[in-house]
Amino acid sequence: MAAPLLLVVLVAVTVRAALYRSSLAAFISERVEVASPLNAWKRVVEALALLDLGVSPYSGAIFHETPLIIYLFHFLIEYAELVFMITDVLTAVALYLAIQDFNKVVFKKQKFLIELDRYAPDVAELIRTPMEMHYIPLKVALFYLLNPYTVMSCVAKSTCAINNTVIAFFILATIKGSTFLSAVFLALATYQSLYPLTLFAPALLYLLQRQFIPIKLKSKSFWLYTMQYAALYLCSLVVIICLSFFLLNSWDFIPSVYGFILSVPDLTPNIGLFWYFFAEMFEHFSLFFVCVFQINVFFYTIPLAIKLKEHPVFFMFVQIAIISIFKSYPTVGDIALYMAFLPVWSHLYRFLRNMFILSCVLIVCSLLFPVLWHLWIYAGSANSNFYYAITLTFNIGQILLISDYFYAFLRREYYLTHGLHLTRQDGTEAMLVLK
């Protein structure tokens, strides 16, 4: 399996290198869909220039990335393109290894449940075989590396790629079962963009499952393990934040990074829902809606944890998708990460209901974003409502995509336990509804 992966990596690196040398690189770097005030490369360069002038990068409102990024690029600024290509490759390789391991776990669990006779007798066509699962890791790596969103994010040198790498390593560490590394990478991901905090729940559920600890509130081993994991996570987070303090000798970065993510003062247009909402908000309700929108990202965790406690990796996928859609400054790089997981659920294809229309919506919206931006900002013949409308449609498309996959997943689980050919009491074919 290494050779096809290597081939995919080579193709991806070639595409990126070609784009770096072309005139499209400058055009893509300027795009608001790819570079947000949080992760634009221009702002990293500006922060390094401010440091050269003796001014703290956090004294103004220009730089909102973490001090570790300054530290990293202080030394690697000349090799920036290489760094971003390597991060993409690392993410793809990490996802490849993680999904390879995950497939083994899925297959083992399936075998176990079949032996326990948990499945209905007529679900043979729903059972997954190693043959069909063989190419999934490669497809995941392919989906990530050759996704136009990822390529654009890499060419624009958006630090979202670094965030994706850290999350990919976190997923790899979790699936491999290493508590310590999982906690460390989760702490790094939270340190960089705050929202991966919600991935604590799926990671914990997966690790508990892997250690064969039952998830019962009364169980002592459950609480012991949870405390252990939480302590590792919090300690690594504290250590990383203290390290950042010593880098620039001030706590300025906390309001500049986390205060900025949470209070959304910069209304630069992007593909998310926050910018126009707060541009048109009545001042009186601004704080209330900021709180509502931020809570919206975090509050799906507990219900999803309760519903999907047997399937923590799917939970992780849904959680990453929710973060990418509802975070305060989303970019297409964030979307690329959860889209890379879609081949893992390719066996749900037969239960998906709206795939055609949703894929059309997503593709058309992605193509319309630059068109309507140009009409608003450069041609002056459209106004901000046009771009906002496409933002709304794109986000609805993403939301329906995730809920479609969720629906298909739950439906397959039902069929597995109740049988594929359902009959009603009078013997006619039955319909399945959610009630």
Partner 1 sequence: GGMLAVVVLLLLAAAGPGRAERDVLREELLLSPLPDGDVAATFQFRTRWDADLQRGSVSHYRLFPKALGRLVAALGVRELHLALTQGFWRTRVWGQPPLQAPAGAELWVWFQPTVTNVDKAWKELSNILSGIFCASLNFIDSTNTVTPTASFKPLGLANGTDHHLLRYAVLPREVVCTENLTPWKKLLPCGSKAGLAVLLKAERLFHSSYHSQAVHIRPICRDASCLAVSWELRQTLTVVFDTFSSGQGKKDWSLFKMFSRTLTDACPLASQSKVYVDISPKNKEKELLEVTPPPTSVHEATVQGDKRTYAVYDLLSPSLFNTSRSLNVQLKWKRPQDSSDLPTPVLHAQRYVSGYGLQTGEISTLIYNTHPYRAFPVILLETVPWYLRLYVHTLTIITKGKENKPSYIHYQPAQDRKRPHLLEMLIQLPANSVTKITIQFERALLKWTEYTPDPNHGFYVSSSVLSALVPSVIAMKDVDVEHSPLFTSLFPSSDGSSYFVRLYTEPLLVNLPTPDFSMPYNVICLTCTVVAVCYGSFYNLLTRTFHVEEPSRGGLAKRLANIIRKFRGVPPL
Three-state DSSP at 411 gives: helix
**Of residues 137 and 202, the one with the C-beta less far from partner 1:** 202
For the chain, the straight-line distance linking the first and the last C-alpha, in angstroms and rounded, comes to 44
Backbone angles phi, psi at 423, to 5 degrees: -120, 150
Stretch that binds partner 1, among 135-143, 205-213, 225-233, 277-285 (CB under 8 A): 277-285
**Which pair of structure tokens corresponds to residue 251?**
């706590």
Contact pattern for partner 1 over residues 6 through 45, marking x by CB under 8 A = ------------------------x-----------x--x
Q: Rounded CA gap, 270 and 208, in Å?
A: 38
Which position among 13, 15, 86, 267 is part of the footprint of partner 1 (CB under 8 A)?
Answer: 267
Q: Rounded CA gap, 201 and 316, in Å?
A: 8
**Of residues 81 and 252, the one with the C-beta less far from partner 1:** 252
Contact pattern for partner 1 over residues 324 through 363, marking x by CB under 8 A = -xx-------------------------------------
Contact pattern for partner 1 over residues 43 through 82, marking x by CB under 8 A = --xx-xxx--x-x---xxxx--------------------
Nearest distance from C-beta of residue 126 to partner 1, angstroms: 15
Q: Rounded CA gap, 33 and 11, in Å?
A: 24
**Of residues 213 and 400, the one with the C-beta less far from partner 1:** 400
Q: Rounded CA gap, 259 and 239, in Å?
A: 20
**Which pair of structure tokens corresponds to residue 322?**
């929710």
Question: In whole angstroms, how far apart are CA 123 and each of 88, 126, 414?
Answer: 39, 5, 11
**Which pair of structure tokens corresponds to residue 51?**
């440091």
Q: Are 271 and 394 in contact (CB under 8 A)?
A: yes
Stretch that binds partner 1, among 111-119, 137-145, 267-275, 342-350 (CB under 8 A): 267-275
The total of other beta-carbon atoms located within 10 Å of residue 397's CB is 22
Residues of span 89-108 touching partner 1 by CB under 8 A: none
Q: Rounded CA gap, 399 and 384, in Å?
A: 23
Residues of span 395-424 touching partner 1 by CB under 8 A: 395-396, 399-400, 403, 406-407, 410-411, 414, 422, 424
**Of residues 143 and 275, the one with the C-beta less far from partner 1:** 275
Q: Rounded CA gap, 120 and 420, in Å?
A: 8
Three-state DSSP at 291 gives: helix
Q: Does residue 392 interact with partner 1 by CB under 8 A?
A: yes
- Contact residues for partner 1 (CB under 8 A)? 30, 42, 45-46, 48-50, 53, 55, 59-62, 265-269, 273, 275-283, 293, 296, 300, 303-304, 306-307, 322, 325-326, 376-378, 380, 383-385, 388, 392, 395-396, 399-400, 403, 406-407, 410-411, 414, 422, 424, 426, 430-435
